[in-house]
Amino acid sequence: MGEALVLSIDGMGGDHAPDIVVEGVNIAAQRNSDVRFLIHGDQQRLGALLDRCPHAKAVSEIVPTEKAIGMDVKASQALRQGKGSSIWSAVQAVEEGRAHAIVSAGNTGAFMAISMFRLRTMEGVHRPALAARWPAANGGYTVILDVGANVEADGEQLVEFAIMGEAFQRAVSGNERPSVALLNVGAEDQKGHEEIRAAARLIRESGVDINFHGFVEGDDISKGTVDVVVTDGFTGNIALKTGEGTARLVGQLLREALTSGPLAQLGALIAYPALRKLRTRMDPGTFNGALFLGLNGLVVKSHGSANASGFAAAIGVAEKMARSHYREEIARNLQRLASASAQSAAAKEAG
């Protein structure tokens, strides 16, 4: 591995693979001259696509694989039968040090299971977490995690998520001191589950070095009250999907309203450039690229339905993470957390 950054790409994952994958690499390659790509998948199909995408072709190498994991395959099945697939091969390249990060738009369950099985969790992390980005009213975005890697999380695990999410936000946004809060049903200290209150106490008492804001509520995710919102994977998954569903509903109603008659259509036509900007802002592709945090390797999940520019956005996230000092930053905070937890356990035993 030379000086250049190397990204390992699952060429066959996603609803529109391999086409949008190669086109996405082509967009990313035009932006950066110092990134190389290993694209895993069907040699013939990928080769034909690369012939049409000269920027990608100049910096890519195909790693041929015999099969691909379908979008409906269960995680357990993918683990048993996934060896030799494009996802497996893409993960292996990072495991063996041939690449710095993996990007896949494939089957989420399979991708997470294979990544976890091959890369294992980092020292000091009990469970990995899936972190997504959500547009915020302040013009930026909110990082929210866990959005579905785990169903439950205890206080210590929530603090680990906070540590990882904060470093992720810093690496991708460039904000040196992102604010962090726990998702709850009210801002007061006594609100919510015991797990959340325990996490808040632990952050305050452990000396973990993050800009901690306490509790926020569901509407704060879109407001952008804080830069990182931490929750368990069950709540986070439901919050994210409820938000996505609402955005889709409003979009549908807006389209219906603006095609409901000739005057509405005329107005929409005149306002089209402005409406198009709005669409870009709310397009899930703009913030595409969820991170599966906490493994020995950088694992980026693209939306399965992403288009080429969405896939390029996910590649951009992988690149920023790979160039950051993410690992060292979270190692220090995880060490503080582990000491505090050990002390607290010892105090309990002694008491």
- Which member of 30, 33, 44, 242 binds a copy of itself (CB under 8 A)? 242
CA atoms within 13 A on the CB side of 185: 6
Of the chain, the end-to-end C-alpha distance in Å amounts to: 53
Q: Contact between 288 and a copy of itself (CB under 8 A)?
A: no
Local structure of 233: helix, strand or coil: helix
Distance CA 142, CA 223 (A): 9
Name residues contacting a copy of itself, limited to 117-176 (CB under 8 A).
135-137, 148, 151-152
Distance CA 301, CA 288 (A): 8
Q: Contact between 336 and a copy of itself (CB under 8 A)?
A: no
CB of 85 to a copy of itself, least distance (A): 22
Q: Contact between 274 and a copy of itself (CB under 8 A)?
A: yes
Name residues contacting a copy of itself, limited to 247-266 (CB under 8 A).
247-254, 256-258, 260-261, 263-264, 266
Strand ordering across the sheet containing 101-104: 60-64, 35-41, 5-10, 101-104, 298-301, 290-293, 129-135, 141-145, 228-230, 179-183, 211-216
- Which member of 15, 61, 245, 335 binds a copy of itself (CB under 8 A)? 245
Which lies closer to a copy of itself via its Cβ, residue 79 or residue 247?
A: 247
Distance CA 244, CA 113 (A): 25
Which lies closer to a copy of itself via its Cβ, residue 156 or residue 232?
A: 232
Distance CA 282, CA 302 (A): 16
Q: Which of 70, 79, 63 is nearest to 114 (CA)?
A: 79
CB of 279 to a copy of itself, least distance (A): 9
Distance CA 199, CA 160 (A): 9
User: Which range touches a copy of itself (CB under 8 A), out of 167-175, 199-207, 243-251, 320-328?
Assistant: 243-251
Tokens of 116: 């976890």
Q: Contact between 15 and a copy of itself (CB under 8 A)?
A: no
- Helix (H) or strand (E) segment spanning residue 331: helix 326-350
CB of 128 to a copy of itself, least distance (A): 16
Which lies closer to a copy of itself via its Cβ, residue 269 or residue 342?
A: 269
User: Which range touches a copy of itself (CB under 8 A), out of 97-105, 158-166, 172-180, 278-286?
Assistant: 278-286
- Give residues in contact with a copy of itself (CB under 8 A): 135-137, 148, 151-152, 183, 185, 192-193, 217-223, 231, 233-235, 237-254, 256-258, 260-261, 263-264, 266-275, 277-278, 281-282
